[in-house]
Chains A and B, each alone.
Chain A
């Protein structure tokens, strides 16, 4: 379930990149047009990952530098949805008032990366790096969020899983992440076993007043896996064990086997449920 690059036939360097034109669009429409028209366009936001990606073989024809797209910065409420601009840095997002609409989200967001990365790394870049070590996808999956893309063909909403599958339209630009605010939606993100394993727990209340929940387990080598919770019964360990029955048997990586991920993940989930008052110990 994990992929490893070959042991460097050639140690690629960013000095391998040939100079390229840079386009600075002012608006999303201009950016979408640039993505559609330019030769081998690569969108560029905080810049944390591009050099690494180039060293792993990503070609750069034209760089579409998103610096001026202020409309994609910041977190805001749009009706019943929390809308996160793709260019929002982790530091801005974690500190934003709007993110507080989901209790637990600011705290979780403030833990991503290290401060040097949080100051310039963006929510969108984190997602689009498609690196299993990165965590925005985990949070978005737990919260039932989606990613909005704009392209010359129009707009498209993708689930985090579809981003892993590279299902976005060709030459599309990620614009916003959206989280529908279910009643009483809250997040508990446990990183105590990182990087071997982390787990995000989202809890909310459905239209009938029923408690609902979803857990997402991830490792630094595996795509996140969502487990739906049946919160009836109120016994944290039983709820957790039942949810973990759905963990795929091949959910394992070179650092950790399935049995441990299953057992430790279930133990962490039970604690998260207790911590959030969703079940008793």
Chain B
């Protein structure tokens, strides 16, 4: 290919979904309506933990308008009525016990939601309440109640160098992930060893489109499912296993998704809707309320104990950590989050020794699962707070402390891993410049209001673990392009970015590319839309598929024109050879006949398996979020005002710059709200603020006066045109940058989120008392 100026990549043009989304034409799962469709609702447990003595649903079954009732009596005939990622512990509806307030006990499909709810109200359930487990640290005590007396079916995946996993290592712990490299006695050589404990709060994803699906199993040998789901192929596999159905009988379709942030992976509404549809013989829509979303999936609260050995000059030597993740009542994605939290706790720094144990602790609260950052948010909070704490203890500027220890460009994160693909110091220096960090001594206090600045570098491995991706590009006689792959459009702009890659490689406008609907019957296999993998993993498959189809087209033209293919160029569906232009359509019909032809290219990508890599395959790319904050701390009320927030990510190459910016800023605002106020508040096993009115998410008037991002394009990414993944990094540094700024301003260190006025004031009082 000759070097031609790029016509699509990097342009701030309209996303391909812009027209549909601003005109109300975009279709989401919530908008799907089938003839004869019923509506499902569920009955939930009012107890945090209880044994079910009896369920009497006879009255509900007899009610007019009710077409199906699902209780443990009905699920008993389903081949494997439990689901989960590594551990199959979540029943479709409760069988012997309920394990959190909101656990599903029964479901009804009726002609409308009102009828379904009235039927649910007629179901009688007798419970025998049991003691609840809500505290992470005492959950494994011998006297603590046990959520699972018997071991559910589960697996431990194969791990590489230094990593290991274990099911049920202790009471109420469903999974442990451990990682170790370097000698345990490395601490002995350190000038200082610092041990600190950090507490991480719990948020709900608060995606606006609810958990929703429409399931049609009215024909025995065919399942059709529309679902607001991030990973249709794994869901298809799970449904096949649960119901004993062949995968080629199950079609999972994913329209536009109205937000997910991690929550919409794996089974949520789907098994209940399918079971009801089978009983009723009609399509069933199951749409949760937003309040029920809080009871369906959440972020992991965590306690992180971090022990770090360091030399007097600030050189990091060793870090051992113990992490407790609050996994809630069912394992969901917890073991996978544990892998990542355990793996990411060192941060982007060089050590001689790393040792981590991460435990998934079961509690009688809503199940926790994937959430933007996937363990990296928890670890960045602890890591980047402690780096600052150590710097201050050693009398070193936190900026210098970071610079001294950061991994170099190209240096492996740990033995067996891929090299760092961003210049970490370049990003840090950008934050320092944009924030005015070096002039922070000039910040003026305002009576009781103290000002300061803080920095942080959020860090995670990106692109998923051992993630395969397949893409197909078809081009019709007239040069109309079909892009088929399984990446869902969840708002991140993946359909635009992937279409841009295709258009660029085929020398045409992006308007010629249509991203085909995601449908497991037709789309090539994909593991899921998660882990910032769309451009970094699927992007490579799409790029290869496009280059493959381009090669076919040029080879065909070369044969037709009787010349070497390398003399030819493809531009706007014409073959250019020097000054000649040959339209392709007549050439194609001349050879294939008047009905024309489609060229088809496929592209595959997967990181090579490697036992040297701790997670069995080297990381695809490293997702970094650099951040800095300026705060004003009111020392009389404890209120923290973030006056400036600056975040920057490295897109490698920004395929669509506005989409990149939106991802970083959206992520940063989630980080800001977690830092300052947003959290699920539990009183025992009861969620206190699980609704839109009392669960506070950030609004436009919560933005810092100066809130900006810059998308770096360092160019070292593995994706097409040097791209890296985006979308999670911007969240990672924010909470610790703000905590570090609070210390800079007021001399108090907060180690628990959120950084509420109450905690700030208590810390100030404790400092005054010293």
Contact = CB atoms under 8 A, between A and B. Distances in A.
Given A4-B688, A7-B687, A264-B638, A16 B292 contact: no
Nearest to A267: B636
Given A10-B117, A267-B636, A267-B637, A15 B112 contact: yes
Interface stretch (B41-49, B264-272, B422-430, B623-631): B41-49
A140 to B, nearest CB: 21
A11 interface: yes
B616 interface: no
Interface in B219-273: none
Interface in B640-697: 681, 683, 686-690, 693-694, 696
Contacts of B637: 192-193, 263-264, 267-268
Interface string A254-276: 11110110011001100000000
A10 B694 CA distance: 19
B535 interface: no
Nearest to A114: B699
Contacts of A192: 637, 639
A15 B756 CA distance: 38
Nearest to B120: A10
A241 B696 CA distance: 31
- Interface size class of chain B, counting residues whose CB lies under 8 Å from the partner chain: 35 or more
Contacts of A268: 637
A62 to B, nearest CB: 18
A129 B42 CA distance: 28
Contacts of A11: 41-42, 44, 117, 288-289, 291-292
Interface in B109-123: 112-114, 117-118, 120-121
B295 interface: yes
Contact of B694 (A7, A133, A267): A133
B102 A8 contact: yes
Contact of A13 (B43, B101, B289, B295): B289
A103 interface: no
A1 interface: no
Contacts of A7: 44, 46, 101-102, 295, 686-687, 690
Contacts of B638: 260, 264
Given A254-B681, A254-B683, A9 B761 contact: no
B443 interface: no
Contacts of A15: 112-114
Given A193-B757, A263-B761, A9 B117 contact: no
B295 A8 contact: yes
Contacts of A257: 758
A16 B117 contact: yes
Interface in B749-763: 756-758, 761-762
A20 to B, nearest CB: 13
Contacts of A8: 44, 102, 289, 291-292, 295, 690
Interface string A9-30: 1111101111000000000000
B118 A16 contact: yes
Nearest to B48: A7
Given A260-B638, A264-B638, A4 B693 contact: no
B43 A9 contact: yes
A59 interface: no
B762 A260 contact: yes
Contacts of B295: 7-8
Choose among B44, B636, B637, B693 the residue with the greatest number of A CB atoms under 10 Å from its CB. Answer: B637
Contacts of B44: 7-11
Nearest to B102: A7
B758 A6 contact: no
B758 A18 contact: no
A193 B634 CA distance: 11
Nearest to A6: B46
Interface residues of A, number: 34
Nearest to A253: B688
Contacts of A18: 114
A52 interface: yes
Nearest to B295: A7
Contacts of A133: 693-694
A221 B289 CA distance: 23
B113 A254 contact: no
Contacts of B681: 254-255
Contacts of A4: 683, 686, 688
Nearest to B447: A281
B82 to A, nearest CB: 22
Interface string B436-448: 0000000000000
Given A7-B102, A52-B693, A12 B117 contact: yes
A253 to B, nearest CB: 9
Contacts of B756: 196, 255-256
A195 interface: yes
Choose among A114, A254, A256, A268 the residue with the greatest number of B CB atoms under 10 Å from its CB. Answer: A254
Contacts of B120: 10
B681 to A, nearest CB: 5
Contacts of B636: 264, 267
A260 B639 CA distance: 11
Contacts of A264: 636-639, 757-758, 761
Contacts of B102: 7-8
A7 B113 CA distance: 19
A52 B113 CA distance: 16
Contacts of A107: none
A192 B634 CA distance: 11
Nearest to B113: A15
B696 A16 contact: no
A133 B688 CA distance: 14
Choose among A10, A193, A259 the residue with the greatest number of B CB atoms under 10 Å from its CB. Answer: A10
Choose among A7, A192, A256, A259 the residue with the greatest number of B CB atoms under 10 Å from its CB. Answer: A7
A13 B117 contact: yes
Interface string A138-149: 000000000000
A220 interface: yes
B694 A220 contact: yes
Interface string A166-194: 00000000000000000000000000110
B688 A254 contact: yes
A153 to B, nearest CB: 34
A254 B121 CA distance: 30
A220 B636 CA distance: 21
Nearest to B639: A193
Given A11-B291, A193-B757, A268-B637, A6 B101 contact: yes
Contacts of B696: 195
Choose among A2, A8, A192 the residue with the greatest number of B CB atoms under 10 Å from its CB. Answer: A8
A195 B673 CA distance: 13
Contacts of B292: 8, 11
A268 B637 CA distance: 7
Interface string B327-338: 000000000000
Contacts of B683: 4, 254
B73 to A, nearest CB: 20
Interface in B21-77: 41-46
A131 B694 CA distance: 11
Contacts of A193: 637, 639, 757
A2 B689 CA distance: 12
A256 B758 contact: yes
B748 to A, nearest CB: 14
Contacts of A221: 694
Contact of A10 (B112, B121, B639): B121
Contact of B761 (A52, A114, A255, A260): A260
Given A8-B102, A255-B756, A263-B761, 4 more contacts: A12-B117, A15-B114, A193-B639, A264-B757
5 contacts: A7-B690, A9-B43, A11-B117, A196-B758, A255-B756
Ranked 7 nearest A-B pairs via Cβ: A7-B101, A260-B758, A267-B636, A264-B637, A15-B113, A11-B289, A16-B114
Interface of A: 2, 4, 6-13, 15-18, 52, 114, 131, 133, 192-193, 195-196, 220-221, 254-257, 259-260, 263-264, 267-268
